[in-house]
């Protein structure tokens, strides 16, 4: 990829001034070696998050294909807000099995989606309502901060973000890497001149 072209694997060049990159999630390759049933590369589970034909095996998160009982044939998305709640339901169901109680089916509706797309700019969808700009960015940071473990980490991150709002970025040095050798030579020569001037000043004093 260059400033004005994108090159494919076979060498074909596509003129372009804008590049939009997207990526999905993929389960760990270890899943493929497991002897249980799979769907779209993920471990197939029932509504109780139990692996069929393996009553003592449970699966959650982005490695599990969790059916959505509200939408037949569709799985729950492999996002953190679903995985956290899946973990709680699995813990309850394992305890229920040990105590001989009824299992709880997993059902959860996505609360919203948040993303930061640039400096103090974001996009969000909360309960079906769309937001963008500074408000969405602030909501994303607020949710992110609330999920950090430990009060000390929350305070440190909040303090750092507050300073970022009040002061500009601290940039120490920016130079072209292609001319880094000349940059170093110039610095060495400049340092030698400054050192000689300092020595002459000391001698005069």
DSSP conformation letters of 33-70: GSSS-EETTEEE--TTSBPTT-TT-B--GGGEE-B-TT
Residues 130-139: contacts with CB under 8 Å, at least 24 apart: 139/114
Check residue 176 and give its pLDDT.
62
pLDDT-based confidence at residue 200 (cuts at 50, 70, 90): very low
Check residue 173 and give its pLDDT.
61
- Judge contact between 122 and 140, C-beta under 8 A: yes
CA atoms within 13 A on the CB side of 157: 14
pTM of the model: 0.61
Q: What share of the chain is helix, strand, coil (3-state, %, to 5)?
A: 40, 15, 40
Any idea which fold 1-110 has? FAD/NAD(P)-binding domain (3.50.50)
Q: What is the mean pLDDT of the chain?
A: 80
**Domain map of the chain by residue range?**
1-110, 112-166
Across the range 33-49, mean pLDDT stands at: 90
What gap in Å lies between CA 166 and CA 156, rounded to an integer? 16
């Amino acid at each position: 990829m260059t400033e004005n072209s994108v090159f494919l694997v076979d060498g074909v060049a596509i003129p372009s001034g804008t590049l939009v990159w997207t990526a999905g999630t993929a389960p760990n390759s270890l899943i493929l070696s497991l002897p249980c049933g799979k769907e779209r590369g993920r471990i197939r589970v029932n509504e109780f998050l139990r692996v069929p034909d393996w009553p003592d095996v449970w699966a959650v998160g982005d490695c599990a294909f969790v059916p959505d009982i509200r939408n037949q044939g569709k799985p729950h998305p492999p996002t953190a807000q679903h995985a956290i709640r899946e973990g709680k339901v699995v813990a309850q169901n394992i305890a229920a099995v040990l105590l001989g109680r009824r299992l709880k089916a997993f059902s959860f509706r996505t609360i919203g989606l948040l993303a930061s797309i640039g400096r103090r700019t974001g996009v969000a969808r909360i309960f079906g309502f769309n937001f963008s700009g500074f408000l969405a960015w602030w909501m994303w940071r607020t949710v992110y901060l609330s999920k950090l473990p430990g009060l000390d980490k929350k305070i440190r991150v909040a303090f750092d973000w507050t300073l970022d709002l009040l002061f500009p970025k601290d940039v120490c040095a920016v130079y072209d890497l292609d001319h880094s050798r000349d940059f170093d030579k110039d610095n060495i020569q400049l340092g030698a001149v400054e050192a000689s001037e300092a020595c002459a000043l000391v001698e005069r004093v």
